[in-house]
Amino acid sequence: MRMKYLFISWLVVFIGSWIMYVQYSTYTELCRGHDCRKIICDKYKTGVIDGSACSSLCAKETLYFGKCLSTKPNNQMYLGIWGNLQGVIKCQMEEASRLDFGADPEPRKEIVLFDKPTRGTTVQKFKEMVYGLFKAKLGEQGNLSELVNLILSFADGNKDGRVSLPEAKSAWALLQLDEFLLMVILQDKEHTPKLMGFCGDLYVMERVEYTSLYGISLPWIIELFIPSGFRRSMDQWFTPSWPRKAKIAIGLLEFVEDIFHGPYGNFLMCDTSAKNLGYNDKYDLKMMDMRKIVPEMNLKEMIKDRQCDSDLDCVYGTDCRTLCDQSKMRCTTEVIQPNLAKVCQLLKDYLLRGAPSDIHEGLEKQLYLCIALKVTANQMEMEHSLILNNLKTLLWKKISHTNDS
């Protein structure tokens, strides 16, 4: 009997140690903030890059990396403390200058990183470089020059009225990232976190209090033993009250409006996971992660020559799907579902659970009409606008008289 207890105790210690080792290995792979900071600060101290956050990060050391939030090794994300302010630090450990439909992006190449613009490049030439990049990403837009001027204003990190070569190198590296470009375009929109500063391809954005649309954070040791189906049910239990959920949902619908045929073209939401959405203490929606929101023109250009055997080969992220043309064995360029349909699919259970009985049927009908939207349908844009406005009106009428509005 004593040997039996001894064996069980040894087995528990062994399994516990193994789990701890696996978790530690995963953490060290995912959380490489020290490496990120070292790369950025080495470039800053040698005069290669500059930006509004460089001095605080590398010289004054008033910008600190806090809790690690990374989910992939090549995209480092940390809670940050910048003096008296709190934010989120994002840093790229690998190149992300192109869309990839299967493998991870190529490893970061130290030799070519921050290699543009080169010494001797004039401000006018840099403007032309940025304009050409925007034209390739966004297509022919009548107001690209305004966007170029907006980028140059942001790139002037020390606000001395001119963009230095190190600042230009930082700006050029950041412009390869779709999330950064979209954040600049939507900086005056309510549902986009504010940019606080940058250094190289590291940038700091406003911190959002609640970092998922719903759910509850549990210690990883407990997560291991919870079945995925039960976990999804738990997520639905731990949500705000229904009027507050309705306000968050209205915010998400407004964000869809912001990126649907906006002043710089259409952007596609290619990962509509709840973990990419958050909200503040007033229950205003804030986008947590926009790395998989890409310009439609850019996506079409990248996917048009992709070889395929079935529709499963024509997917970017988790939600941007096109069809495989079997006669040519190539992916078509038209994404099947519009952003609104994907958002409604996400909101269906979220809004219907606990919805007031007097609007439940009408809300369910509108959500299913929304989910059925197809990009190829006749008069899709008219239906898109009609359904979106109907949903917003239905939700707003129900909560407009409450404190949550």
pTM, full prediction: 0.83
More confident residue, 261 or 34: 34
| Closest-CA residue to 256 (of 226, 279, 290, 231) | 290
The pLDDT assigned to 109 comes to: 39
The pLDDT assigned to 14 comes to: 56
Q: How far is 117 from 119, CA to CA, in rounded Å?
A: 7
Residue 122: Cβ within 10 Å count: 9
Report, as an integer, the average pLDDT of 318-337: 92
Residue 18: Cβ within 10 Å count: 10
Q: Inform me whether the pLDDT recorded for 339 exceeds 90.
A: yes
CA distances from 323 to 123, 315, 331, 372, 404 (A): 43, 9, 6, 17, 42
The pLDDT assigned to 225 comes to: 63
In sequence order, what are the residues at sequence separation of 6 or more whose Cβ sits closer than 8 angstroms to the Cβ of residue 179? 90, 289, 290, 291, 293
Q: Which residue has the tokens 């096109």?
A: 322
> Dihedral (C-alpha) 63, 65, 70, 76: value to the nearest 10 degrees?
50
The pLDDT assigned to 212 comes to: 79
pLDDT exceeding 70 applies to what percent of the chain? 83
Give residue 79's identity as a one-letter amino acid code: L
In sequence order, what are the residues at sequence separation of 6 or more whose Cβ sits closer than 8 angstroms to the Cβ of residue 156? 162, 163, 167
Q: Please calculate the CA angle 172-176-178 and round it to the nearest 5 degrees.
A: 130
Tens of pLDDT, residues 163-195:
999 999 999 999 999 899 999 999 889 999 999
